[in-house]
Structure formats: structure tokens, C-alpha cells
Amino acid sequence: MAHGPAKGLSRWLFTTNHKDIGSMYLWFSFAMFFMGGIFALVIRAELFQPGLQIVEPDFFNQMTTMHGLVMVFGAVMPAFVGLANWMVPMMIGAPDMALPRMNNWSFWILPFAFALLASTLFMEGGAPNFGWTFYAPLSTTYASDTVTFFIFGVHIMGASSIMGAINIIATILNMRAPGMTLMKMPLFVWTWLITAYLLIAVMPVLAGVVTMMLMDIHFGTSFFDAAGGGDPVLFQHVFWFFGHPEVYIMILPAFGIVSAIIPTFARKPLFGYESMVYATASIAFLSFIVWAHHMFTVGIPLTGELVFMYATMLIAVPTGVKVFNWVTTMWKGAMTFETPMLFSIAFVILFTIGGFSGLMLAIAPADFQYHDTYFVVAHFHYVLVPGAIFSITAGVYYWLPKWSGKMYNEVMGKTHFWLAFIGLNVTFFPMHFSGLAGMPRRIPDYNPLWADWNMISSMGAFLFGAAQLLFLYNVVRTILSGKKATDQVWEGAEGLEWTVASPAPYHTFSTPPQVK
């Protein structure tokens, strides 16, 4: 058997190098981001004006389902796992991940899971058409045979996530450099440690609920069928017990990224490091006791509504602590506004807007009015697009010089930011208004009353989509022909958390930062 480094395709197929696997995760999630984005643009094109013009209602429903599934499981989660693969070993001074072969496996099963999911678009009966939450008994009774393929795909994605999480926990707990105690780890490592525990706790719940669906479809059980003694509301309880922690799985690593970037460009240590760690842990704990705020309208007892309402409001407290700490870190700092910092500041502002609308939705009697309207769509997109997508983008710009040894084009990066920022707000802010005016979610046609807001949203969506093409071009151009990055990556910035040549960052500076 030949020895030495593998070449060509075998290098990527059999690699156990955390950097290679991190890169594959990131490119895969980028591809899924574009695929999910195309599904979203089909939705927005159809809703550009009232009346059915481009797609049939059933295909429209398939697009809403596929958009949600691909963005959540294919774009956001693998991107964060990719960033963790790249950065966690370097940040804790480890040579690689603890379980490198499992690391390879957890990536390579993902493309097959999503190929399975995407293939349902070409099967008889079409892709799943019941929304990304796949509520039973709709998904088990009236759906096509492709639901079985969807269930298998979800199982594979879940297995990938669990393996990735076990790997991250094993790496962080066992492979830190001498002297790096838990409370000296960068916040990105802390947020991923906590996220990994969330993944291990909730992914089996998702596997359980889709297995119960499978039994209902093929083996004559009635878990969710009232006619057989089952309960459709049981599905919602089990799904949202997975689904709400899942939302925090998609946002906690973002907190870690932003907590690395803001101190760098404010030239100050992060304010309140320990409170950030405790706030992250508090959010993770509380995420398990708020799931039924998605279910205020199903007829749960008043006591239950009150418990879930207060628990949901309580989760705003540790989140507020984080926002306060980021703003205080920037306060009186010697700030510069390179591309990663622009995305991070936009993250703080827009994520806070999403948090405020979330507080509105937490109020049970008010939620009766907002539920299943476009107001909810506006809320969770204000959390997930500036929250997850902007933070991932900020992290890529911030660490790209470290990964590639080359510097991206700053003007192009800032252009990407402003196009994405404007596109995002033009897309999703009007949805608050159309939702408050009563427009339901997941409808391919609508009352002309909501036409103006929909037209504006659709125009914003295409602008946001176009901005991502610029991002792709900038990243590829940097890797192929970017200028060599110097030790001093960000011009005029001293006292950085890291430079290209430096070891992993700590959360404090060894010397007070100097500014030219």
C-alpha cells in the first residue's frame, strides 16, 4: 500500500484532516444555501402579485417545504459544523478533532441525505408538500409516497449531526492545550460545546417522531391519527420539543462568532466574558421548556399557556445580557468597520428586532392573532437570516485570510454587505405589516389588499439573492488569486485577537491594544 499524502479525489473522500472536512462542510452548505434560495425565489416570484401565475398551488407547497428543510438542515447547520471543524481545534490548541474518521463519515453521509430529499422533486406525487414542520396527520395521511424518502433523509441528517456533536464534545473536553481551562476558551468554543449537548439531546427526539410517522404510514399504527385513538397534538408536542432547541442550535454558534469579531474591531476585550458563558448555558437550558409557545392555538390548558408564556419571556433575559455585552464592548472602542464588523453590527441590531417580535409572539392572547400569519414569517426570518446567515458570512470573511493565507477584496465585501442588508430588510420588514393585516402563511394566492407589501418583499428577495452571487465570486477570487495576507491582516488594526501567524486566540489581550 502506498504511503504519503493522498492526491486528487481520494484526498477529499478519505481525509481525516479537520481543515479539509471543515472546508467540505462549508462548500456543501454554500451549495445548499443557493438551492434553498432558489426555492425561496420561486415562492417570492409567485407572490409578486395576486393570482396564480408561475407555479401550481401543490408545487408552491412543495417549495415552502423544501426551502425550510434545505435552509435549516442543509445550509445553516452544516455551515456552523464547518466553522467548528476549522476553528475549534486551532482555538484550543488541539492537533485535530478527537475522532477524525467519524468526522469524515459524518460529512460524507450528508450529500446522500440531501440528494435523497431533492430527488423527491422528480418522483411521482412530487416532493413533500406539508411545510417544513411536517405536521401529522397531514404528512402521514394525505401525503405521497415520497414522505418515506423524506423520513429516511431526516434520519441520515440526524445521524450526521449526532456524530458531529459527539466529536466536538470529545475534542473540547479532552484535547485542550495545557493551561487552557474551560473559562479561558474563546466564546466560539463555549457556544459550540453547549450547542453540541443540545444536538445530542434533541436529534433523537426528531428521529423518534419521524419513526412514529413511518409506523403510521406503513405499519398500521395510529400515533397521530384520532380515528385510531391517536392524537395529532402529540405530534406537535414531540416535534416542537425538538424544534425549539433546534432554533437555538442555529443561533448559539452565531453568538460565538460575533463575540470573536466585535472585540477585534472595537480593539477591546469582550465585556463580561463569564456572564456570556452563563447566559449561553441559560438559553440552552430554557430552550427545553418553551416548546409549546408554538402551540398556543391548539387548545392547551390556560395554566400551560401561562407557564410557556412566562418561560418564553424569561429566555429574553440572558439574550439581553449578550446584546448588552456586545454593545458595551463597542462602547468607546477604537472601532473600524471592515466587512466582518459590518455584518456583526447588523447581526446585533437585526437580531434584536427579531427578539422583540418574538416577545410579542410570546404573549399568548396576542399570539392567537399573529399565529400562522406572515408576522411569524417576518419574526423567524429576522432571527435566522441576520442571526445565522449574517454571522456565518461574517465568520467566513473574518477567518478567510487565516484559512487561505490570502485577503479578500474589501470593497467587494462591503458592497456585498450593503446589498444583503438592504435586500434583507426590504424582503422581511414588510412581512410584519402584511401579517398584521391578516395575510396567512403558505398560500400561493392572496387578497389584493396585501399586494403592495408582497411586491416589495419579492423585489427585496431577488436583491438579497443577487448579493450572494457577489459573495461567492469574492470568496472564489480570494482563494484563486487574492493578495497574500500579511501578519497584520486588518490594516491599521493593532491588538488583534489573532493574526495569520499567531496561535489560537484567547478571550483577553496579553497587552493593552494600541491604535495608530
Catalytic residues: 67, 96, 132, 160-161, 244, 246, 248, 259, 293-294, 319, 322, 441
3 state SS of 373: strand
Alpha carbon distance 401, 395 (integer Å) = 11
Does residue 5 have a cis peptide bond before it, meaning omega lies within 30 degrees of 0?
Answer: no
Alpha carbon distance 303, 287 (integer Å) = 19
Alpha carbon distance 341, 368 (integer Å) = 38
Residue type, 464: F
Q: List % helix, strand, coil for the chain (3-state, nearest 5).
A: 70, 0, 25
3 state SS of 443: coil
3 state SS of 484: strand
Alpha carbon distance 338, 365 (integer Å) = 44
Pick from 157, 75, 60, 155: which is nearest to 108 by CA?
157
For 134: left if phi > 0, alpha if psi spans -120 to 50, otherwise beta; the answer is left
**Which backbone phi and psi does 219 adopt, to 5 degrees?**
-120, 15
Q: Which residue in the block uniquely carries the three cell numbers 414522505? A: 147
Q: How far is CA 183 from CA 85, 151, 209, 274, 276, in A?
A: 21, 40, 37, 7, 11
Pick from 311, 499, 333: which is nearest to 405 by CA?
499
Pick from 498, 501, 500: which is nearest to 509 by CA?
498
Please name the residues in contact with 436: beta carbons below 8 A apart, sequence gap of 6 or more: 370, 373, 375
How do beta strands 406-407 and 483-484 pair? antiparallel
Pick from 363, 191, 417, 377: which is nearest to 284 by CA?
191
3 state SS of 221: coil
Q: Which residue in the block uniquely carries the three cell numbers 475522532? A: 99
Please name the residues in contact with 469: beta carbons below 8 A apart, sequence gap of 6 or more: none
Alpha carbon distance 425, 431 (integer Å) = 10
